[in-house]
Amino acid sequence: MGNIPTIYEFLEYLDFLRGFPAAYVVLITASLILIFRDWRWSILALLIQYLVVGLLLADVMPPHLAFMKVIIGIFICLILFITAQQVNWGRLPEDVTAEEAVLLGQERLLRFGPYMLPTDAPFRIFLGLAVALSVGALTQKAAFHLPFVDNHLNLAVFGLFAMGLVIMVLTSEPMKSGMGFLTLITGFELFYSTVEQPLAGMVIFAVISLSIALAIAYLTQVRHSFPALFD
């Protein structure tokens, strides 16, 4: 049986993804959370985001601490995944008609036969591209360069900030809005890690992120059981 690769060996394997490629992937995953209405794809995008943020954190802190962030992110995605399964991925019961769904004010996905038909997909795609391009252009200007932050980290921080805020504003649904909040918190943690690197700060962010994930799980369950409370 071969030896399990160390954290440093993993970083060597993923060296091609370090720097700006990692920042671009983070920006893309945040955009996908905004665009996708299907929770399964959104959770997968969030998981990839946490994995790649670990690479970015490895540029500003010891790799074993960055790896802990990845582990925390996996736990958060696991909590969201289990919750989403419990509420049937946010779908309404099959016997609910489209007219009844409108009356209930639902934002969740509706299934028409074997297909999902989100009506706002073009708008979300356009908005995701607009935000991504705007962040890319603004971070090229000195006025939008954070102090003590490398260029690729600056792009990732602003991208997570912007996408997180847009996701939160665009929906009142707890699961999707919560993913936006987690994205925003990740951006702030990435910036904070470039300035201060105490272990206590990382523990605080871990507690905050896990608490947010548990709150998302609770609110999602409540919304699924009592949708009228969110109307």
> What is the token pair recorded at 181?
């909040």
Q: What is the pLDDT of residue 15?
A: 80
Sign of CA dihedral 200, 204, 205, 207: positive
More confident: 7 or 73: 73
Own/partner pairs for 24-27, CB < 8 Å, 24+ apart?
Answer: 24/155, 25/52, 26/52, 26/53, 26/56, 26/156, 26/159, 26/160, 27/132, 27/135, 27/136, 27/155, 27/156, 27/159, 27/163
Nearest CA to 136 out of 39, 217, 24 is that of 24
User: 54-68, 74-88, 89-103 — which is least confidently predicted?
Assistant: 89-103
More confident: 11 or 35: 35
Q: What is the pLDDT of residues 129-188, one digit of tens each?
A: 898 889 988 888 877 888 878 888 999 999 999 999 999 988 878 999 999 999 999 999
What mean pLDDT comes out for the span 98-126?
56
H-only helix segments in 58-144: 63-86, 98-104, 121-138
Burial of 203 (0-12, 13-18, 19+ CB in 10 A): exposed
The type of residue at 230 is F
Q: What is the pLDDT of residue 228?
A: 53
CA distance 56 to 97: 46
**∠ CA 179-187-8 to the nearest 5 degrees?**
105
More confident: 24 or 61: 24
What mean pLDDT comes out for the span 81-95?
77
What mean pLDDT comes out for the span 209-226?
89
146-162 residues labelled b (16+ CB within 10 A) or e (exposed): eeebbebbbbbbbbbbb
> Concatenated DSSP letters for 60-79?
TS-HHHHHHHHHHHHHHHHH
Q: What is the pLDDT of residue 226?
A: 66
Nearest CA to 170 out of 220, 124, 216 is that of 124
What mean pLDDT comes out for the span 203-212?
92
More confident: 141 or 117: 141
Half-sphere exposure of 146 (CA within 13 A, CB side): 21
The H helix count followed by the E strand count for the chain is: 9, 2
Calculate the average pLDDT of the chain.
82
pLDDT tops 60 at residue 102: no
User: 9-23, 24-38, 46-60, 182-196 — which is least confidently predicted?
Assistant: 9-23
pLDDT band at 117 (very low <50, low <70, confident <90, very high): very low
What mean pLDDT comes out for the span 91-112?
50
Q: What is the pLDDT of residue 118?
A: 57
Distances (CA, A) of 36 to 108, 116, 124, 169: 11, 11, 8, 15
pLDDT tops 90 at residue 18: no
